[in-house]
Structure formats: structure tokens, C-alpha cells
Chain A
Amino acid sequence: MSLSRRQFLGGGLLLATAPFVLKVQLPNFFNETTLELFLKKYPSDVNLTNIVEFEAANELGDFKKNLELFLANNPDQSNWNPSILEIIKKDFEVGNIKVVDGWIISETELNIAFLKKLYV
């Protein structure tokens, strides 16, 4: 069986793009957890260079569990960022804020930034 030039190029293109398509559509195919997917996609407005100074490992553990639970209960990815944003707004509302690198940010933002540092 011989391949035409068109089939050869088309097949090559398909093979080349397949991993990217699969990675987006099927994260677990690459052993990427939902948490990692969320963290990778989550936009970061603030650039925290000295985040290693953050000393709330216990709180972070709880936060991670709660975030994983939230992601598991909300399979629709389009709801993730708006829901998290509401939590962040509430943080600012009630004063759950931290100062890191001069940035005045919400505790949720900081926890996400820290998880990003660990997992992405």
C-alpha cells in the first residue's frame, strides 16, 4: 500500500497535533489531575516572587482538600473561575487578606498561588 502525498501530510499533521488535543480534552490521560488542570488554567494577576516565605502549610493542606472537593463537585470547568472569584471577593470583604511581596491579596489568592508554585 502506498500513501499519497496528501495522506502523508494529513496523517503527519494529525499525529503531531493529537497529544495537544488529548492533553486538553483528557487530562487524566497524561496523569494530570483536575487540580493541576485548574491551577494551570487559573489566571494569575499578581507575580509573587518570594512566595516561599509563605508559612501556612497546614492551612494550605485544608485549602487543597476543599479545592479538590469543589472541583470534583463542579465538573463544568466554565464555573470554576467565577466561583473562585466570588470566594476571593468575599475574602476581601471580610478581611481575609495577606501581604506578600508588598501585594495585598486575599488568602484564597495566596493559597492558589502557592499551589501553582507546587504543582505547575
Chain B
Amino acid sequence: MPSLKNCMFKDLNDLSIQESISCDICIVGSGPAGISVAKKLLGSDVKVILLESGGIEPSVEHNELNKGENSGPRFLSLDASRVRCFGGASRIWAGHCAPFTKEDFKEKSFVPLSGWPIRKKDLDFYYKEAAEMLGISYDLFNHNNSINNSFSGVSFPELKGENSFLSSFVLQKSSASNRNFGTKYKKIFSDSNNIDVIFHSTVTKINVSENGKHIANIEAQDITKKKCIINAKKFVLAAGALENPRLLLDANNIFTNGIGNEKGFVGSCFMSHPGVPGVAEIFKTTKGLCLSKEKYSNDPIYQFASSTSEQLNNKILGHGFDLKPALDFANRSTYSSARLNTDYKKLFKHLNIGQTAEKVFCKYNGNKYSSNLWNLNVGLEQEPSHRNHLTLSSLSKDFFGVPLINMFWADISKREIVTVEKSIKLLARQFGRTNSGRVKYTEDFISGKAFYQPDSVNHHIGTTRMAKTIHKGVVDNNCKVFSISNLYISGSSVFPTSSIVNPTYTIIALSLRLGDYLKRSVA
């Protein structure tokens, strides 16, 4: 069986690529997860093939492969935040980073299926390495002192403090040059001696050995339907939380329900971070503040949430408060026709000509205005539930004949609604106990309309969850599929719970950990 001799970027359509190739480790997908696993293997003796469905740059025809169906009450755009090319979704990612907290990894008695088989300390080393890759400071996550200089800290001093019902967490933004792995790692991988990146190689089948215990090989095709079979000692699926379960479910040559699906968890427990906008208004008792640039910093961003102890006492899920100054005539965005059409009542309801003039003057002088009237949006951790799941379409197939994804995203759960309600009460109590403001639920919250907004977050989490035993998940604490000896999964699909922070930073940390593990185990 021929192997690749000269390592470089290759294309499946190249004549040099044979019908069958072999390597030590085959990684499917060159997004943040795939690149991070492969990065740990760079320069080693391990021969790696990294398969990418698209090319070096995105193309319309490859992104067409991301399309799928929705059958649930909530719509999820299946192709909105996915890119098939080198770097994957890192090319369109906003770059907000925060590690999961210690509590995120723990089991919560009131959240069925919660709890990771690993602890935060198992990831800390890799969080540090991921921070270096992203050009952010790991130490900053552990030192909250800079909140005093942040815009949130200056605007809401009353929400801080040891006895507060709330706590804050830091979000750092990775710069465009650091977060786009497609450009950042292009040269490093193209110069590699042990890693081949093969473009335009869409995995169309995973074949299980006859004894059902390991993966025999996988098949990849390009857009001309040229086929290549890849043999490897170990395989890693790093194709995202929608594509990973799709490939497993479609691998039915031995198991009719797909690979790793003995307990029905493949495709199940899908989670995102539902945003619930415009749930409350905050009326501060203090006057608005005009802040000069010396008085605050925009980076890092601090977001408030109910403290961990209050979350546990109230049996609520993780969440984050997104406080936005209320719309007024001093905001440029107010004058977009869409906002004027929908929000004009609010504009006139709270019209304060004096404050608007003060704000305009403040902005005119290059300063930032911290209003005394704010709108509250809440971002939610979603609980893992079989109600939210994806299956394979029985009707539609893609260009290669692989069934499309059928996503069933159920209505927001009762616990998710209660989380929003109770967390707003905690916020109101904190404002009240310091007599710094009062909080009012909006009509959209009371009527329930706020809970039925289109999803714009597009975080795909769950679907091949990590667990202690096969009875609660698909992969073990080393990201290996329980029932298959040589198949691993990396990415947010293995998260058992979603936390509230953006998933990519944890995807990278977890993938670096897997890369280290594979390097040791193959060696």
C-alpha cells in the first residue's frame, strides 16, 4: 500500500494521490479542533493525514454540503457558521475567549446528564497553551482586578463585591490574525515533514472492521467523485458537532444505528447558547456618566451573571447578562429603518431631551456615555436533553449521496425559562439592596415572546458527548469512542454540558490534550 512521501498541501484530485493511502493518524477536518490536534503532532515521528473537505479558501460549492433540514419548532441555520476550508470556522469566529469554570465540569443534581468525566485542572495546562495560540493572556482569566477599569465595572460598581448576588467573568478577544487558524497555520503545515493536508477530500464513509471493534478505513471523495481510501492506526473526527454525528450515524456497514450509538447518544443532546433579548429594563437611580478614554478600558470585556452559589441555591442554569444602553436618539444605530420601525415606541416612552443632548455632546468629544437606562439580554446555558437531537434525513442526500442532517431543536425548556426569570430577580435584588436602580420585566418577557427569537449564536455543542460510561455518552475521558478501539472525536460535540462562554477556546484546549494523548499512545 503506497504512502505519501513528500509532505505538503495536496489535493485529492492530484495524480500523485493513490486510490489507497496510509498513515498513523488520520484527522477529519481542519478547523480549530483538527488543526489543534495536528499541531501537537507536528515535527514528531507520527505520520498524519489531515483531510479537509474544502480548499485553502472557502468556496460556495463546498459550503453547499453543509445544508440540512429542520423539523423542530426552533429553527437552526445549519450552514450559517460553518466553513469548509483550511481553518474552518476559525475564519468567521468573533474571537471571544473564556475558559469553562470549575463548576462547569461538575455534576449538578438538578441538571440530568450534567457532569464531565474530567475536571478543569485536567485542561488548565492546555488552556494556557491555547491562550498562547490565540494571543491572549491566561493569567488574566484568574485575576479579576482589571474589572475596576472596564466599562462594565465603571458603569455598574454596585454589582461587584464579595457579597454581591452576582459575579463577573472575563471575555478576552483574540485578534483577527491570531484567531484565523487558516492563515496563521498555513505555512507551518505546508512546510511540515510529517503532516499531509489533503484538500477537497470530503469523507463520505467510515468503514468498521468485520469484528465491529475498530475502524478499518474511511473513504473520501472530491467534487469529481474521485475516491480515496485512507487507512490509519487511529482516526480522529474533528468535523464539528453537526458533521461528526452525521458521519457516525451514516457508518452503518456493521452497526445499523451507526458507530458508538449503542445507547442512542449519537446526535442527541444538542445544545447552543440561546439568546433571550430584551427581557428587562434597568432604571438606574444614578445619573448617566460621560467617560473619557482614560477612565475605562474596552478590553477585556466583563460580563455579569448570578454568582455560582446563587445559581446552585436557585437551581438555575448558567447564564450571562448582556447589558446594553437603552435606545435613544443619540445612538447612530437608532436611525436604521428597521430599528425605527420596531422600537419607536420605546424611543418616545423614555425620551429625555436633556440626557440625549448630554450624550450627544459626550460622544462628540470622543468619550463614551454610560447611560442610566439599560436593556437586558440574557444568554443561556442549555441543559443537555434528548429532546434536542439530530438524525439523518430519510429523504434528502447531498452531492455524494450522504443523507442530510435533520435537526430537531425543541422549544426552550421550563428550566431555561426559570433561569432567565430567577436570574433577573437576583439582578434586581442586587440593584435594590444597593439602592442603585430598579428592574422591570419587559412585555416581551411577560408574554413569552422574548423566548422565541431566531437563533443568531450558532454554537453547536453536544451530539457525541463525553461521559464516564457508555450508558451516558459516546466518548470516554480521552475522547475515544467507547466501543471502537481506534476512533477519537474532538471538538464541541464531546462537551457534555455547554457552560455559558464561547466554546472555541475550550475546543482548542481539549484538542491539544487529545493531540498529546495520541502522540504518546502512537509512540
Query: Measuring CB to CB, which residues of chain A are less than 8 angstroms from any residue of chain B?
Result: 45-46, 85, 88-93, 95, 97, 99, 101-106
Contacts and interface: CB of A to CB of B under 8 A. Distances in A.
Interface residues of B, number: 20
Nearest to B426: A95
Task: Determine which residue in A85, A95, A102, A106 has the highest number of CB atoms from chain B within 10 A of its CB, and name it.
Answer: A102
B429 A92 contact: yes
B432 interface: yes
A83 to B, nearest CB: 13
B469 interface: no
A6 to B, nearest CB: 42
A104 B442 contact: no
Interface stretch (B399-407, B433-441, B475-483): B433-441
A29 to B, nearest CB: 34
24 contacts: A45-B283, A46-B438, A85-B435, A89-B433, A90-B433, A91-B432, A92-B428, A92-B430, A92-B431, A92-B432, A92-B433, A97-B425, A97-B429, A101-B440, A102-B445, A102-B446, A103-B439, A104-B424, A104-B425, A104-B438, A104-B440, A104-B441, A105-B432, A106-B432
A34 to B, nearest CB: 24
Given A45-B285, A97-B425, A103 B438 contact: yes
Interface in B430-466: 430-435, 438-443, 445-446
B438 A45 contact: yes
B440 A89 contact: no
A103 B432 contact: no
Chain B contact residues, majority secondary structure: helix
A102 B440 contact: yes
Nearest to B283: A45
Contact of A103 (B434, B435, B440, B445): B440
Contacts of B438: 45-46, 103-105
Contacts of B425: 97, 104
A89 B429 contact: no
Nearest to B163: A93
Chain A contact residues, majority secondary structure: mixed
A89 B443 contact: no
Contact of B429 (A95, A99, A101): A95
A68 B315 CA distance: 40
B73 to A, nearest CB: 26
A24 B438 CA distance: 31
A93 B431 CA distance: 10
Contacts of A88: 432, 435
Contact of A102 (B431, B433, B441): B441
Nearest to A93: B433
Contact of A89 (B428, B435, B439): B435
Task: Determine which residue in B424, B428, B431, B446 has the highest number of CB atoms from chain A within 10 A of its CB, and name it.
Answer: B428
Contact of A104 (B285, B428, B434): B428
A110 to B, nearest CB: 12
Nearest to B425: A104
A97 B285 CA distance: 18
A89 B446 contact: no
A20 B428 CA distance: 39
Nearest to B445: A102
B523 to A, nearest CB: 58
Interface in B92-121: none
Contacts of B439: 103-104
A101 B446 CA distance: 10
Nearest to A46: B438
Contacts of B434: 89
B350 to A, nearest CB: 12
Contacts of A97: 425, 428-429, 432
Nearest to B427: A104
A20 to B, nearest CB: 29
A89 B432 contact: yes
A97 B433 CA distance: 11
B461 to A, nearest CB: 31
Nearest to A92: B432
Nearest to B434: A89
A91 B434 CA distance: 11
Nearest to A47: B440
Given A92-B430, A92-B433, 9 more contacts: A88-B435, A89-B434, A92-B432, A102-B440, A104-B432, A104-B440, A104-B441, A105-B432, A106-B432
